[in-house]
Amino acid sequence: MDPIRLAIPAMGSAVAFGLAVVSATVLGVDLLKSPAPSGAPQLGAPLYLLFFGTLAALLLAGVVAWHLLSPILSTYRRGGLSVVSGLATVLAMLLCIPVHQLAGRPGLIGLGAAAAVVSFALARRARSVVTAS
């Protein structure tokens, strides 16, 4: 088994899964915000959802990468690639900003759905690399 051929789709799947979770989080925050604009920041449920949803997305991306990279026996390499996948989700989640500004809630739903489909497709590809070896 070629570890590079496994790592690329596995990490891509993890980042896409994290993006799907972040898209759902931002959608939830948008639904919880009060419609009246105010100068004060929104505290309470929207803030907690944004914080813990973002943290969950980073952690879940790492968990997905860890799971898909299970054929790699080195805990050091597997862990390092999982951490990098979680941190790369931070870059991917920046897509939520322009999508939300340009397309609103339907755009976030579409982004999350597309990210989930990409995640499952790449996870399948990662599994096929393992079975082909």
- What are the boundaries of each domain within the chain? 3-32+43-132
Per-residue H/E/C for 35-66: CCCCCCCCCCHHHHHHHHHHHHHHHHHHHHHH
- Using DSSP's 3-state secondary structure scheme, residue 110 falls into helix
Taking the chain (133 residues) in runs of 10, the rounded mean pLDDT of each run is 91 98 96 76 85 97 97 95 96 95 96 98 94 80
What's the pTM? 0.92
